[in-house]
Structure 1
Amino acid sequence: MTLLQVAVAAFPDTPMLLCALVVLFLLILWKQHKTNGLPPGPWGLPVFGVLPFLGRDPHLVMMGWRHIQRILCADYCARQRAQREFTLKYLAKADTEKQTEDEIDALLQYIRDTNGEPFDFNSTISATISSIIESILFGSKLEQEGPNVKILVDSIQAASRLSAQASFQNFLPFLSFLPQCRNGNEAWKVFASHVTRLLERHILGYDARATRGLVDAFLHQSKRGDSENYFAFNDDDLIANCQTLYIGGSETTSTTLTWGMLFLLSNPDVCEKINAELEEVVGKTRRPSLADRPNLPYVNATLMEIQRCNYIGPLSLPHKAIRDTTINGYVIPEGTPILANFWSVFMNEKNWPNPREFRPSRFLDEDGNLKKIETFIPFSLGKRSCPGETVARQEMFLVVTALVQAFTFHVPEGEAIPDPDGSLGLMYEPPRYRVCARPRD
């Protein structure tokens, strides 16, 4: 006789008692839900909440809840404000176009050297954007050796990919012993060790009289004891900021560009319209520059549609309410984790008719001029919007225009263009694919 059978025999009314307890538990939850004034939302399980119901595409599941989730809030302490303001001021003054152009030169030469043979676009563009971020941070590319660059890029991608498998650890820390959590944590440690090694090598050549890059500017600030915000610029902050800029500045942009090439392969007419506009405005004797950007509406519309379609950050990073807050009559308790569902914003049919269709013209008015659309927020909005927005937009413009001006692209013979179905890790990642490039006449 099993233990359950013994219990039932000893207490004949056990099933009815269990049913009564379940009903009582649900009534308590319902009453608490109502009296606390929490916003409406899906019912979850005790301890695990809604995690078991999110599946492999949580952004799509949450899209079904979009009529009850419209809040974005995050902790924003004095330390974060000081570092954000510092980063924005530095990037506004830095000559990031020159640093980007140098790496694009190397990218174009690499593609020429393929002589029309297939190459992996994902890893190629990741290495280029990673080198751009490295130049912005340190003033020059420290990792000259190919294997080391590949190790750094691979470590970023591995950490991003494994984040999806271990994401539940953010909500259930006691499960950190599970293999997928250990693997995810180990991947982040490998990535962090590479960034720390680069930082330590750079600091050996530090000179208070020179500013080679953002790291030097940070070090200058940390050594100014008379600065009002010097408390926010210590060694731990420097390491954390370098890691954040590598992830936020390299992987996000390279992922967007990888999606972009996939869309261009699937829509060759868009690629030819871009090239026609470049020929008319820029010509063939020089590369497009940031000064050309206001005169290239179709190029800009295409970049915006690339960011909107298959948006790389369907769900925001977790934020939290720093105090009890009431919005539209609903109470958000202090400490509540909050995520924004950006996928719902960019796939809302009211704002974007046929949202799965790749159509740059949706960003142009009837005269062909670029339209401002308030619901287009690829870098989020408010005080916690992406501080690297300006640099990212510059990188995407310069890379895409340089590639389209110099080459035509197609998939290798016998290979099909992948379907635009991604996988959600730290970002919404595109499938891997190879391309062949032919120089334009």
Structure 2
Amino acid sequence: MFLCDPFLPELKGLLLFILVVLLATYFLSKEEPQNFPPGPPALPLLGNVFSIEAKQPHIYLTKLADVYGNVFCIRLGRHKTVFVSGWKMVKETLVTQADNFVDRPYSPMVTRIYSGNSGLFFSNGAVWRRQRRFAMTMLRTFSLTNSSMEQRIWEESQQLQEAMEKEKGEPFDPVPLLNNGVANIICQIVFGRRFDYNDAIFQSMLDNLTQMAYLEGSIWALLYDSFPVLMQHLPGPHNRIFSSSRSLEASIRAEVEKHKLDLDPCNPRDYIDAFLIEKENNIPLGFDDGNLVFCCLDLFLAGSETTSKTLQWGLIYLIKNPDIQDKARAEIDHVIGQDRRPTMADKPSLPYTDAVIHEIQRIGNIVPLNGLRMAAKDTTLGGYFIPKGTAVMPNLTSVLFDENEWETPNVFNPEHFLDAEGKFVRRDAFLPFSAGRRACLGEGLARMELFMFFVSLLQKFSFSTLDGVELSTEGVTGATRTPYPFKICAKAR
């Protein structure tokens, strides 16, 4: 009977029409301007999405530069994205042409999470500029220019040490403790308080944060942005991006409502208070309750994930290189001792320890790629034509491992940051915080945290792992790069 269905010819015609439209759309979108960057062959409609290695996309993209050069294009669905590799080309994009590559392109995933032109990461134009300046001012006000911030970080490091001491030298997973300690620093700036490590709301926020940080940089996010109409109706891990963000928003909104109850316009205690005061003064450009939640979400994400991941990779590399761990500890013992509280004033006297921390950031490669940018006008990169509106992705992995910039790029080597006399030296290609207009706005705070936490931990413990266990340095890549589950032994000195 099906073969005699009178509607069958119409159905066939409809399907044929849809196929013709899709193919026409594909071939029209395939047309490229003269001298556009080259790239690998792409499947019709699907592009190169399924060619990207899901677990280590940054490695796949870095290797493509060896084939197609430091400026190349891949297709994500029908959309073209230009990838920029190597220190020289990334510098050209982020620094030399900073004004041209400051805005973010449209993203279906981001649009579903954020309401309108909001937040600190994905907003554009005047709203982004005003909110970024405000956030940087508040970070300075409540952290970098506040002499008590060093004290707060040290006190949090004591909480971390006490939790590690309770393990009595036995193997344990350090990740939850490091997440707790680091997150509490940004919580004191944004929310005006720290949380107990056993607080259920705090733990729920950290769990949702971890989910978001992984999934937003995973193949699932690429699939959603490439095929949003299809993906929004399909089950899968990508849906946890949205459920986690909603849960985080609810927790932050509850904190905002608490702040409103006892707000003192003459005495702001934290970022939320200062934002609410700006709102009451009818300051335009994003000062509303909805944007406050999204800005807090971004600060919480940036202020927790990257620093915690750096500490995690730091423990792994120090355990895998016990001679380097011992040398850094010996320097700390000589300059500070085991009992005195470290301060940032000690940093110039600890060049080897400082070099170790920088090398952990470099080889740990915490943010392997970077946020997407969009060309504000027609331009050129590496001799190729980049039309206005083109999405551009700087590959930070290719900078941190650039063979033209680092003597031993694939080896954990603190000597990268030391001169012949053992003095600390800065390296231009050191870009874990990105560069240009959208460089990490919390870089100063992160540097302080990393120094204080690492020095405090090395003062008190010798770190190792189980006999016969080899810790992996591969990790799992999302928006940040996360170590595979591992256990350590923290032996009190």
Matched, 1:90 2:145: no
State the one-letter code of the partner of 1:288. Answer: P
Q: Among 168, 191, 212, which residue is 1:115 paired with?
A: 168
1:27 shift after superposition: 9.3
Q: Does 1:262 align with 2:261?
A: no
Matches within 5 A, 1:146-225: 146-163=199-216, 164-168=218-222, 169-174=224-229, 175-180=231-236, 181-225=238-282
> What is the rounded CA distance, in whole Å, between the counterparts of 1:51 and 1:183 in structure 2?
20
* Contact 2:201 2:251 survives alignment (8 Å): no
Distance 1:394 1:105 in 2: 16
Offset of residue 396 of structure 1: 0.5
Note the 1:12-161 alignment, pairs <5 A: 32-35=31-34, 37-56=35-54, 57-66=56-65, 67-68=70-71, 69=84, 70=89, 71-72=93-94, 73-75=101-103, 76-94=124-142, 95=146, 96-142=149-195, 145-161=198-214
Aligned-partner Cα distance in 2 for 1:198–1:424: 31
Q: Which residue of 2 aligns with 1:10?
A: none
Cα distance between partner residues in 2 of 1:367 and 1:329: 41
Shift of 1:29: 7.6
1:151-192 deviation per Cα after TM superposition (whole angstroms, max 9, x unaligned)? 221111122233315212123212222222223322222233
Match of 1:433 in 2: 486
Q: Kindly indicate whether the alpha-carbon contact (under 8 Å) linking 1:108 and 1:403 is maintained by their aligned counterparts in 2.
A: yes
For 1:16, the equivalent position in structure 2 comes to: none
Match of 1:398 among 415, 430, 452: 452
How far apart, in 2, do the equivalents of 1:205 and 1:105 lie? 30
Q: What is the Cα-based RMSD across aligned positions, in Å?
A: 2.4
Q: In structure 2, the residue corresponding to 1:339 is in which secondary structure?
A: strand
Residue 367, structure 1, aligned to residue 421, structure 2 = yes
Whether the 8 Å CA contact 2:338–2:460 is kept in 1: the answer is no
Q: 1:324 to 1:435 in 2, by over 3 A?
A: same
Offset of 1:213 from its aligned partner?
Answer: 1.2
Quote the offset at 1:198 in angstroms: 2.9
2 CA distance for matches of 1:81 and 1:192? 23
Q: Any gaps of 5 or more consecutive residues in structure 1?
A: 4-23
Query: Cα deviation per residue 1:23-60 (whole Å; 9 max; x = unaligned)?
Result: x9999888x3353x422333323332221211222211
Contact 1:159/1:191 (8 A) holds in 2: no
Matched, 1:294 2:348: yes
Sort the Cα spacing of 1:143 and 1:207 in 2 relative to 1 into closer, same or farther, 3 A. farther
Residue matched to 2:473:
420
Distance in 1 (alpha carbons) for counterparts of 2:198 and 2:477 = 31
Q: What is the CA distance between 1:328 and its match in structure 2?
A: 5.0
Give 2:102's aligned amino acid.
Answer: A
> Which stretch has the larger CA shift, 232-241 or 182-191?
182-191
TM-score (norm 2): 0.78
User: What are structure 2's unaligned runs of at least 5 residues?
Assistant: 4-23, 72-83, 95-100, 104-123
Cα deviation 1:253-273 (Å, max 9, x = unaligned):
101110111001111111111
SS at match of 1:373: coil
Mapped contact 2:180–2:197 kept (Cα < 8 A): no
Q: Say if 1:165 and 1:184, in contact at 8 Å, map to a contact too.
A: no
CA contact (8 A) 1:318 1:337 kept: yes
Distance change >3 Å, CA 29–CA 177, structure 1 → 2: closer
Q: Which moved more, 1:265-274 or 1:335-344?
A: 335-344
The 1:320/1:291 distance shift into structure 2, 3 A limit, reads: same
SS in 2 for 1:231: coil
Q: Label 1:132 to 1:43 Cα distance change in 2 as closer, same or farther (>3 A).
A: same
In structure 1, distance between residues paired with 2:102 and 2:40: 22
The answer as to 2:369 corresponding to 1:315 is yes
Q: Deviations over 1:103-135 (max 9, x none)?
A: 112111111222223221111101111111101
Cα distance in 2 between the residues matched to 1:145 and 1:90: 28
CA distance 1:326–1:29, change in 2 (3 Å) = same
Q: TM-score, normalised by structure 1?
A: 0.87
> Do 1:262 and 1:417's aligned partners in 2 also have CA atoms closer than 8 Å?
no
Displacement after TM superposition at 1:144 (Å): 6.8
Share of identical aligned residues, percent?
32
Say which is worse superposed, 399-408 or 59-68, in terms of deviation: 59-68
- 1:141–1:50 distance in 2 versus 1, CA, 3 Å: same
* Cα separation, partners in 2 of 1:112 and 1:62, compared to 1, 3 Å: same
Figure out how many residues of one structure are paired with residues of the other and give that number.
413
In the alignment, the residues of structure 1 paired with residue 468 and residue 278 of structure 2 have an alpha-carbon distance, to the nearest angstrom, of: 52
Q: Check 1:209–1:34 CA distance in 2 against 1; reply closer, same or farther (3 A cut).
A: closer
Cα drift, residue 381 of structure 1: 0.7
Q: Which residue identity is paired with 2:331?
A: E
Q: State the distance in 1 between where 2:445 and 2:436 align.
A: 18
SS at match of 2:364: coil
Deviation at residue 102 of structure 1 after TM alignment: 2.3
